[in-house]
Structure 1
């Protein structure tokens, strides 16, 4: 990334590139090492960190000649934040489309085969879907832009004996149910010892797929095709993707469509764990045929708040209308608490 001008323009987004220029200029003014300052920036997140550090240093020595630089720093931060927000907004249609294609799948086996494809479609060069069995990493499917041969090689590298996650950085994904960003995969001794030499990843992110209140699986993606790396944005995007995947898996279990490919002791099941207490209350009343206004009156909340809860629970259940949500509820609980009311015709959430 560093050369005579400190940064190659084609390596970074213009907003991030400008942030490096500002940080370097400030380092010169503060008589610190500009090369070291430039090295700290590789993406929008590190650019914001470097700009914050630079602003603190300038503010500590607020001389008249530093005032223009301070304004440049603040302007550069605004540009980087705008870039990051536009990047996030631009991904929403892609994420929605990928999840829509997955929701249309009719068997869990097809879903598992498609998860790696659709996660890569979010803009990554490689992806992998893996089950978790007794906290062991069980690779299941991969997709790479290099073709199926590389994917097969990665799966073979993760073949039995399966590695326990307690010895790997993925332990936080399984035990703490949180996504991770790994920026030193080529040197970290806790990355997968047989997959890493084959994938040759420098950075990657992984996120949990939670079902029945446990981590049943996780998804890895490697190298954003736009930025050439992975960062906090990729981590959060994958986490959102995987949250919906968990609901889809629970949906198949709830409808009696288990997968022969699911490890026997993989903790996949009850979809109500995906809902908040309030969403479960709303679903119970929705399943009796009540309208949003009636549900709101029962729960002492507004009709608009009820509508928001309904939209969220439909999304979490992976269904498109109230009738389908009510049917899932009755399949789980039977008709005892339905009050004998028929479900309403399909109505907007």
Structure 2
């Protein structure tokens, strides 16, 4: 079944609301004809439905057949509005999957922090904030504000100068305590929010969700002003909660990648230091003596790392495979291979491999 475009559903809903307001004389329904979003329109249709049912039961001067026809039209329009809202939410869940997939491509925590608010904008929020939690304090690291980049800079600047405090701002405190997202209504009149940020952005309502990694809350994600209706509701609460949950997995992945990269860099530094030292016998080792470490010919000129590279080279491994095995860069492997060939007087890998096997045969 093909769904009606949302704009057509809204137009039809406004029209039926005008008719119901005129037939029932209910002036309050006229205000609902000005709505431009699906949630408010659904609320208006429900209110109109109650008015029509009331008049039918009361049996006043209005033609019952006319009221029954209006009730049928209201029911059909309500169904269309619900279908449109469901389609919007289904699309939002698909967008969430794509958003997290894009974030998984980040290679550093700094890049991840900068991209989070922009991805929230792509999910449909005009304003978003990503904050780091350090002890009891939380402070913005990045922000996105639609059509107002200066506001985004000001939010980060002021939030950094005056960090939020767990225990002072109630919504964020509850998020950290329960590790669940919170929907904040009427933020302008809430005495327990970060008023410097709320007043600067003129925020009416917002959702805040926790970034949890290894069981600890390490950050917060804020979002408000959904593009469909200028505010946030229970669905946004669930959506942002799912986003933050997925973000926690992405965060752990990036942390692990950075730690692995640092470990490889440190091993490369150690490798560079070891390259200048000749290989010496290790009699205290319990393993059988390695012929390469006992031979006094060209093999004795190889450093410990060059011997390691040679052992992998004779297995037919590529530079990339050797690099992964030894936790060094392919460029470093290439340099070691050149040194091995030069010291052994071999023209290529095949010749170096042949000399290696010849040596092994002699020491059997």
TM-score in terms of structure 1 length: 0.60
Whichever structure has more helix as a proportion of its residues is 2
Q: 1:153 to 1:161 in 2, by over 3 A?
A: closer
Q: Which residue of 1 aligns with 2:151?
A: 150
**Does the 8 A contact of 2:181 with 2:207 survive in 1?**
yes
Q: In structure 2, do the counterparts of structure 1 residues 174 and 30 end up closer, same or farther at CA, with 3 Å as the change threshold?
A: farther
State the alpha-carbon separation in 2 of the partners of residues 58 and 240 from structure 1. 40
Change in CA separation of 1:246 and 1:39 when aligned onto 2, cut-off 3 Å: farther
Indicate the structure (1 or 2) with the bigger Cα radius of gyration. 2
Please give the alpha-carbon distance, in whole angstroms, between the structure 1 residues aligned to 2:136 and 2:242: 22
Residue from 23, 27, 33 that aligns with 1:33: 27
Partners of 1:177 and 1:208 within 8 A in 2: yes
Corresponding residue for 2:207?
205
Counterpart for residue 10 of structure 2 = 16
Mapped partners of 2:42, 2:26: distance in 1: 19
Contact preservation (8 Å) 2:137, 2:163: yes
**CA shift in 2, pair 1:179/1:191, >3 Å:** same
1:147, distance to aligned residue in structure 2 (A): 5.3
Q: CA deviation at 1:246?
A: 1.2
Find the partner of 1:177 among 160, 176, 179: 179
Q: 1:216 to 1:116 in 2, by over 3 A?
A: same
Shift of 1:103: 0.6
1:149-180, Cα deviation, whole Å (9 max, x unpaired): 32221112212442324434334433333333
Q: 1:189 to 1:18 in 2, by over 3 A?
A: farther
CA distance in 1, matches of 2:51, 2:96: 39
**Regions of 4+ moved over 6 Å:** none
1:78-157 equivalences under 5 Å are 78-146=79-147, 148-157=149-158
Aligned residue pairs, count: 247
Q: CA RMSD in A?
A: 3.1
Please give the per-residue CA displacement for 1:212-243, whole angstroms capped at 9, x wherever unaligned.
Answer: 33433221223234544434443333222211
Q: Distance in 1 between matches of 2:25 and 2:191?
A: 37
Q: CA deviation at 1:67?
A: 0.6
User: Any unmatched runs of 5+ in structure 1?
Assistant: 1-11, 259-349
**C-alpha distance in 2, partners of 1:169/1:140?**
19
1:194 to partner: Cα distance: 0.8
1:75 aligned residue: 76
Verify: 1:56 aligned to 2:50, yes or no. yes
Match of 2:164, SS state, is: coil
Q: Counterparts of 1:183 and 1:43 in 2: how far apart (Å)?
A: 18
Q: Say whether the 8 Å CA contact 1:157–1:198 is kept in structure 2.
A: no
